[in-house]
Structure 1
Amino acid sequence: MTKLLSIRVVAILIGIGLAVTVLFWSLVPGVIAFVTEGQAEHLPYEEPRDFDFSFDGPFGKWDVQQLQRGLKVYDEVCSACHSLKYVAFRNLSELGYDESQVKAYAAAKQVPGIDPNTGEATTRPGLPTDYFPSPYPNNVAAAAANNNAIPPDLSLITKARGDGTNYVASLLSGYQEPSAELLAEHPEAAPGPGLYHNPYFPNLNLAMAPPITMDGQVTYDDGTEATIEQMSIDVAAFLTWTAEPTLIQRKQTGWPVLIFLLFATVLAYLSKNQIWAAVKPKKNKKSD
């Protein structure tokens, strides 16, 4: 009996030790990040602006023309540095492009391939089944070309940032010089070498140079005026689609499900009343 009790005590102590170890290792990265990024957290960055997107709200839907404009901005501006590794060319058919247009778009891109004669790595024209290629062969090349900062993949960027769609649109259209008042109160907010001031970025300075620099940088096929803000909004909408292509389908499915659940709840309530209608509660007799 004493031996069994000792084994249980040892097992409990081992369990507590493992729990403390896991808790310690889960907290250490957060503490380090808090200490190293504490300077950035107190800087007065701005919350994203609230733009009006067609897919907002429970009844929202995609603006297909806007998504096509956003693809054009990504293609002519963002793709020079950022990849879309989770998006296949064939997915563009969801934006209103027919099969021939998708094939032509894919064929205009060079994707990694293998030379069948030598077995060496090479490039080839893309196919609809291929995914958007990365502009760099690896992270080392990406960092070398971008002041040691690796440009993030944009496939899921609007889900990886708080208020992602508004954040992307605000960031792209928000580059500016820091104000004299800001620098007087926070001298550390001055952008260092190779950095650019943006009030919507948490530490106010980032390594990405302004990608959209002037009105008319992209020519829209539908005649929409391509202002800096318009291009920022359009590419933010496109990146929302790449992150959540089934967003509208989920919203459209949600309403029938809610109606069904409401109907089922009413039926369950009526059934309960019907089943228990014949059962009368017994009255407690008072003792004399």
Structure 2
Amino acid sequence: MMPRALLAKFIPKPSTFSRLQFNQQRGLHSRNKKAMEFIAKGWNALKEVDRVIDYCELNDRRLIPLLNTAKENFELALEADNTNTHARYWLSRLHMKYHVPGANKAVAAALLVEAADMGDPDAQYALGCHLRVENDDVHSDQQAFYYLEKAVDQLHPDALYLLGAVYLTGDCVKKDTASALWCFHRASEKGHAGAAIAYGSLLLKGVKIPESIIKFSLKRGPVAQKRGKSKESIAIDPVEMAKEKFQIAAKAGCDLGLKWLARLEEEEKRLLTQEF
């Protein structure tokens, strides 16, 4: 039987689950829930702005009530829960992208950096993009790469796609086609149309599939073909995998995905005709 003294180490003291701590945890959950409600209201207002903004001027007065609603709700979300990274990100985006009354680029930058450092993947991706595009500083590329990698660690689709493009072109990093393929593959698994097209087209060009992707894909039925009993004899059909990627792009509404699928279908018909 386990000694009483040893058991006591695993039994929490009564103070560990005090009423005060329970109330604090419940209060934190309540604040987070309230913040998310405000974010949802602000996001809906911003979505309505995006729906009509292409048909009017950027500073159209008819957009101001919607922009004010979004700004007010994102600010209320931060007041409700100052640790909420989504509120910081969306408020930053509002100040940076839209002609909202009282917009301040310095505030936007500060909020974006805070959200990124607090671990928000959308903010990390956005900050990485801004550092790459809008700065001529020598160190900005390194900082951009740092934040992009942080977003990639959380499997952010756009960050995966961008990092894949960086590896494929060798822009500010050593060119690494295998890493590019891995990024495109994981982004396409998240439904990213551009990554799916890039990955599929590289396969059709004859680029070798990395072993890490083969192992990852073996669990997925259509592209895995067993040629024997040993693991080494299991291979991936690159054409079938490319077709699967183009289907992902087509499902996401990408016309290029449909064109690639039609092209593959024509090629298959041509080959069948030659055989007979």
With the length of structure 2 as denominator, give the TM-score of the two structures.
Answer: 0.22
More helix by share: 2
Greater relative contact order (CA < 8 Å, ≥ 6 in sequence):
1
With the length of structure 1 as denominator, give the TM-score of the two structures.
Answer: 0.21
* Greater Rg over alpha carbons, structure: 1
